[in-house]
Amino acid sequence: MAKGVKRYFGTDGIRGRVGQYPATAEFVLKLGWAVGRVLAPECGGKVLIGKDTRISGYMFESALEAGLSAAGCDVLLTGPMPTPGIAYLTRTLHACAGIVVSASHNPYYDNGIKFFGADGNKLPDELEARIEAALDEDLETVDPARLGKAERVADAAGRYIEFCKSTIPHSVDLRGLKLVVDCANGASYHVAPSVFDELGAEVVEIGVEPDGININAGCGSTDPAALQAAVREHGADLGIALDGDGDRAILVDAEGDLVDGDELLYILARFRKERGMLGGAVVGTVMSNLGLEHALRACEIDFHRTPVGDRYIMEMLLERGWTLGGESSGHIICLDRSRSGDGIVTALQVLWAMRETGRALRDLRAGMTKYPQCMINVRVARNGGPPEVPARVGEAVRAAEARLDGRGRVLLRPSGTEPLIRVMVEGSDAGEVERLARELAGVVETALGAA
């Protein structure tokens, strides 16, 4: 294996279709043991495990518990808990690591394993490499007297609810606001409605009846149509759509229109700057809308881009001492409030801005105009790694950029989880953007051999 190339870990842990390697009970048991083998000698071996609501979570939670116990690690179990809740509880319960069994916004038949270190941040590459190396060793169970024990964290939900409420000033009162909260039948179903209710809002709950299979199905941030309809039906002031593991939020204004992550980032950046709370530049990704960059520039706010993935946003924020970043998907990091992307916390920050300014969500986002964007996924033959881009594709990209003539941008990006090349074109003219995207997708499909 080439230096620096990981076999199992992607940008957000390990993920796959349940029953297909590595998303198997056998592999996850060995993974739990490998994690314990690496971490136990350094931290005393107490590991927190949470999960979302997909049915395979029972199997993988048990497999991780068995593997960790075999390595001599004690296990704390929370049951269903949003990913940011595990990041928070890992720190406050002084665990040496936190593990989340979740495939985030994916369908129920996928699942994955995410990791947090003792500080609540995602594991560094060095630790992931050591865990992968341990997976090559034979599984050896510690002496029976040293086997790890497991216990339930009885007040996990209550602890996390109080944390979320603490991320806005005590003076912020949500009384008089009607909110529709869509929990995607996922990990937030038993905590998110309580947060907003305890802060005084009238809450209409949807997506709060998980059955193990309906997570993200026709609901949540990846399919917000039901939320938009509910906001209009109930005459609500705001709709909040979370994803399956609760680390993303997409909002809906009182008219039922979507407000995505780029617009949320603009709202929060402007609000924070006006009150002297911004703390440096704002961080987005290569996929962030060009309209966000231009709107922030008009507010005299610097904007920087990273590769796609919240871990890269987090790395830049930590490295440069900044506090605010996020992705178009609604994965927003307010580093002065939470150590990870958190859908509930994001919604609370926006509600704070609404209450503080006395302005509706629609008015708060009015200063940003999104550029038309077209993205086409081209499925290519899988050859064991990211496909190399032939010269003729590069020439086609340069030609498209020349036609945009500074009025937009072009991006080709291999998917980190599927055999796809994502072709994205963005610009001021929607028709031109779509034509260029389709032309480029055709060139990529011909050059790389569509699967």
Report percent pLDDT > 70 for the chain: 95
| pLDDT over threshold 60, residue 451 | no
* Number of helices (H), then strands (E), in the chain: 14, 18
373-448: what fold?
A: TATA-Binding Protein (3.30.310)
- Lowest-pLDDT range, 41-45, 56-60, 347-351, 396-400? 41-45
Three-class DSSP category at 401: helix
**How high is the pLDDT of residue 175?**
97
What is the band of 44 on the pLDDT scale with cuts at 50, 70, 90? low
The pLDDT of residue 2:
44
Q: Please state, in angstroms and rounded to a whole number, the distance separating the CA atoms of residues 72 and 166.
A: 35
pLDDT over threshold 90, residue 385: no
- What would be the CATH architecture of the domain defined by 160-364? 3-Layer(aba) Sandwich (3.40)
Decide if pLDDT at 384 tops 90. Answer: no
pLDDT classification of 347: cutoffs 50, 70, 90: very high
Equal fold, 160-364 vs 373-448:
no
Question: Where does 150-205 have alpha helices with state H?
Answer: 156-165, 192-198
- With the C-alpha atoms ordered 307, 313, 315, 317, is the resulting torsion angle positive or negative? positive
For the four alpha carbons of 86, 87, 90 and 91, in that order, the dihedral sign comes to: negative
CATH of domain 14-154: 3.40.120.10
Cβ atoms of 32 and 64 closer than 8 Å: yes
Reported as a single tens digit per residue, the pLDDT across 202-258 is: 999 999 999 999 999 999 999 999 999 999 999 999 999 999 999 999 999 999 999
Closest CA to 112 of 186, 22, 47, 39: 22
Based on the residue annotation, tell me whether 62 is a catalytic residue of this protein. no
Asked if pLDDT for residue 381 goes beyond 60, the answer is yes
Domain borders along the chain are: 14-154, 160-364, 373-448
pLDDT band at 286 (very low <50, low <70, confident <90, very high): very high
Tokens of 362: 């629609």
Neighbours of 406 (CB within 10 A): 9
440 has a pLDDT exceeding 60: yes
pLDDT band for position 3 (cuts 50, 70, 90): very low
pLDDT tens digit string along 112-168? 999 999 998 888 888 899 999 999 999 999 999 999 999 999 999 999 999 999 999
Q: How far lies 190's CA from each of 187, 279, 438, in Å?
A: 8, 33, 43
Q: Looking at 56, 102, 104, 288, which residue is catalytic?
A: 104
What is the pLDDT confidence band of residue 49, given thresholds at 50, 70 and 90? very high
Residue 448, C-beta contacts closer than 8 angstroms, at least 6 positions apart: 378, 380, 381, 387, 390, 393, 421
End-to-end CA distance of the chain: 26
Give the sign of the dihedral formed by CA 71, CA 74, CA 80, CA 82: negative
Q: Which helix (H) or strand (E) holds 376?
A: strand 373-379
Q: Are 96 and 103 in contact (CB under 8 A)?
A: no
Q: How far apart are CA 205 and CA 230, in angstroms?
A: 10
Instruction: State residue 1's pLDDT score.
Output: 42
| Average confidence score pLDDT of the chain | 93
Q: Is the pLDDT of residue 4 over 60?
A: no
The answer to whether the predicted template modeling score (pTM) of the entire model surpasses 0.95 is no
Quote the Cα angle for 360-365-369, to 5°: 150
| pLDDT reading at 417 higher than 90 | no
**6 vs 432, which has greater pLDDT?**
432
Q: Which residues of 131-149 are buried (b: 16+ CB within 10 A; e: fewer)?
A: bbebbeeeeeebeeeeebe
